[in-house]
Amino acid sequence: MEELTVSILLREAKIFSEKESSHKEAALFGSNNGKAIGTYLEHKFKETLSLKYIFSKGNSAEGIDFPDLGLDIKSTSIEQPQSSCPYKSASQKVFGLGYSLLIFVYEKIDFHEEKSSTLKIHHTVFIQENRTADFQLTTEINKIIDNNGNHDDIVALLYDKNLPVDEIAAKKLASEIIEKKPAVGYLTISNALQWRLQYQRVIDNAGKVEGIIKV
């Protein structure tokens, strides 16, 4: 079998999305559990890939679906396109999650007479790792740097945005930002014990911004 690559995965994701959008699944009928629906969709995609390609399957310890590719899958309803992801450090909001994302945005349609459901996939979007930071925070950081802002200005912004960091961590992160200007991210990342990722901006900009690919 062939080794799985990112380009192959994206090609297969397009095919999978088209097929799944017309597939009727009795097991999903009547369920509004977003986590269960997402698990079904992600597992089915990975099982489809495993019939044709060789790849390392992620586990909870590694935290992402395709550790060899540095890629995680997310499934979300079009009604509120968002999901959670593990919190590792506050710097993820500035420099990105540390891996790429493949997002399936679906609409669940129930067929009551047949007692089955279809997940119509409206958007399949790939976000490169360097675009997985928070949009508002990285935009403001770039404005400060472009306006000859200094270390203190960055620290003040991190506090103003309520980034979950203490004084020492804020100064360290500000130094890293001054040393390496972050790319503008396109996620909305809310502070929590787990990051809450919101995808509407990604959906709106897919195919329009480098690093955000409409599959």
Give this prediction's pTM: 0.92
* pLDDT tens figures, 157-199: 999 998 888 899 999 999 999 999 999 999 999 987 678 999 9
Residues near 93 by Cβ (< 8 Å), separated by ≥ 6? Answer: 133, 134, 137, 163, 189, 195
Domain span(s) for CATH 3.40.210 in the chain: 2-81+98-132+193-214
Give the pLDDT score at 59. Answer: 60
Residues near 215 by Cβ (< 8 Å), separated by ≥ 6? Answer: 10, 13, 14, 17, 102, 124, 125, 126
* pLDDT tens figures, 97-107: 999 999 999 99
Give the pLDDT score at 62. Answer: 60
* pLDDT tens figures, 143-157: 999 999 899 999 999
Architecture of domain 2-81+98-132+193-214: 3-Layer(aba) Sandwich (3.40)
